[in-house]
Structure 1
Amino acid sequence: MKFFLDSCDLNEIKEISDYGFIDGVTTDPSSIAHEVCKGSTTEQVIGSIIKAVNGEVHIQVVAQDYDTIMSQALKIHSLGMNVIVKIPATFVGLKAMLKLNDKKVKCSASSVYNSVQALMAAQNYAEYVSIRTGAIEINGKDGMELAYIASETFKNSKFDSKVLVTNITNPEHIVRAGMMGVGAISVPYNLIKMLGSHINTEKDIVEYMQEWNRIPESSRTFFNR
């Protein structure tokens, strides 16, 4: 299972990338717009993210008609072989995914809210099918259940598409994603920071150091050399 950071904040990306456990970064137009409001251009934000990431970078088109989606998708693809083009799972978007597959452009079907959308995206060769679990649960449904159904459907139908669990809002989403063996998850910075440490881990370190410091200075030969 691939592990992506869901962020456009360059400081967050650099910090988490240094830890080494992420496979890339996912972005969306809203998060890019938030960074642009700090004083950069869209080109600067996207370019900086790609330079900072040693892995996949997911960038979404911002168009609704077929011709513009294709044009934007090809421009995104030109930024590097590690760049995945995100396209909303509309009928027009699905058509674009099919045509882009002929051009060897890897796409991620975004904003998937039901199993039929997921199936159609996989049928049109989407590299990833992104299930927005948190947004689905706001509407009173189980987003992870949809991720499970899509994942099992892809396996049974021999599709190469991978389920990408996005819009993760709590630790249970991550646990369930791992248990069901989805292709990837995308986790926001704050949740990574919260889950990447534990009060008992910190407690263990304090206790170990207290015991270690009881050793006379003259006997601490191993690390003092």
Structure 2
Amino acid sequence: MKVFLDSSDINEIKEISDYGFIDGVTTDPVSIAREVTKGSTTEQVITSIIKAVNGEVHIQVVSQDYDSIMAQAFKIHSLGMNVIVNIPATFTGIKAMLKLNEKKVKCSALSVYNTVQAIMAAQNYAEYVSIKTGKIKNTAEDGMELAYNVNQTFKNCGFDAKVLVGGISNPEDITRAGIMGAGAISVTYPLLKQVEGDINTGTEIAEQMEAWNRIAESSRTFFNK
């Protein structure tokens, strides 16, 4: 299962990338716009992310008509072979995925809220089908159950598309994504820091350091040389 950082903040991206456990970064127009308000242009934000990431970078088109989607997709693709073009799973977007596949452009289907949308995107060779489970929960449905059903459907039908579980709001859903065998997860910086700061981890480390510090200074020979 691939792990992506869901962020357009270059400082967050550089910090988490340095730890080595992420496979890339997912962005969207909302997170990019947030960075633009800090004084950058959209081009500066996107290019700085691509330079900082040793892995996949997911960039979304910002148009709804076919010709513009295609033009924007090719521009995104030109940024590098590691760049994935994010396209909303409308009929127009799904049509674009098919044509882009013919040109070897990898796409991820976004705004997927039911299994039929997911199947259509997979039929048209989407590399990923992204399901934002947190937003589905806001509609009183179980987003993780939808992700599970889509993942099982892909396996049963032999689709190559991978389910990308996004919009994760708690560590338990990361576990559920792993158990279901999702192709990827996209996790925000605050949630990653929450997982790192598990109280049990801190307690155990404190106990270990307390025991070590009780050793007489003259006997701490291993690390003192």
Partner-residue secondary structure (3-state), 1:215: coil
CA RMSD, Structure 1 to Structure 2 (Å): 0.8
- Note the alpha carbon deviations across 1:38-71, whole angstroms, 9 max, x for none: 0000000000000111110000000011000000
CA apart distance, 1:18: 1.2
| TM-score, scaled relative to structure 2 | 0.98
Aligned residue number for residue 34 of structure 2: 34
Aligned residue number for residue 200 of structure 1: 200
- Note the alpha carbon deviations across 1:121-153, whole angstroms, 9 max, x for none: 000000000011111111111111111111111
Separation in 1 of the partners of 2:221 and 2:196?
Answer: 33
Aligned residue number for residue 224 of structure 2: 224
Aligned residue number for residue 157 of structure 1: 157
Select between 211-220 and 61-70 the one with higher mean Cα deviation.
211-220
Separation in 2 of the partners of 1:209 and 1:177?
Answer: 34
| Residue 27 of structure 2 corresponds to residue 24 of structure 1 | no
Separation in 2 of the partners of 1:91 and 1:56?
Answer: 25
Q: Structure 2: give runs of 5+ residues left out of the alignment.
A: none
Aligned residue number for residue 79 of structure 1: 79
- Across the two proteins, how many residue pairs are aligned to each other? 225
Aligned residue number for residue 210 of structure 2: 210
Aligned residue number for residue 140 of structure 1: 140
Separation in 1 of the partners of 2:113 and 2:172?
Answer: 19
Separation in 1 of the partners of 2:208 and 2:148?
Answer: 42
Separation in 2 of the partners of 1:175 and 1:98?
Answer: 32
- Note the alpha carbon deviations across 1:53-97, whole angstroms, 9 max, x for none: 111000000001100000000000010111000000000000100
| Residue 133 of structure 2 corresponds to residue 126 of structure 1 | no
Q: Structure 1: give runs of 5+ residues left out of the alignment.
A: none
The residue identity in structure 1 corresponding to 2:20 is: G
Using the aligned pairs only, state the percent identity. 75
Select between 195-204 and 62-71 the one with higher mean Cα deviation.
195-204
Aligned residue number for residue 172 of structure 1: 172
Separation in 2 of the partners of 1:150 and 1:61?
Answer: 24
CA apart distance, 1:172: 2.4
CA apart distance, 1:162: 0.1
Separation in 2 of the partners of 1:201 and 1:111?
Answer: 36
| TM-score, scaled relative to structure 1 | 0.98
| Residue 110 of structure 2 corresponds to residue 110 of structure 1 | yes
> What aligned pairs does 1:58-69 form with structure 2 within 5 A after superposition?
58-69=58-69
CA apart distance, 1:20: 1.1
Separation in 1 of the partners of 2:41 and 2:142?
Answer: 37
- Note the alpha carbon deviations across 1:5-33, whole angstroms, 9 max, x for none: 10001111111111111111000001100
Separation in 1 of the partners of 2:106 and 2:22?
Answer: 19
State the 4+ residue runs in structure 1 displaced beyond 2 angstroms: none
Partner-residue secondary structure (3-state), 2:59: strand
Aligned residue number for residue 48 of structure 1: 48
Partner-residue secondary structure (3-state), 2:122: helix
The residue identity in structure 1 corresponding to 2:44 is: Q
Separation in 2 of the partners of 1:132 and 1:216?
Answer: 54
The residue identity in structure 1 corresponding to 2:15 is: E
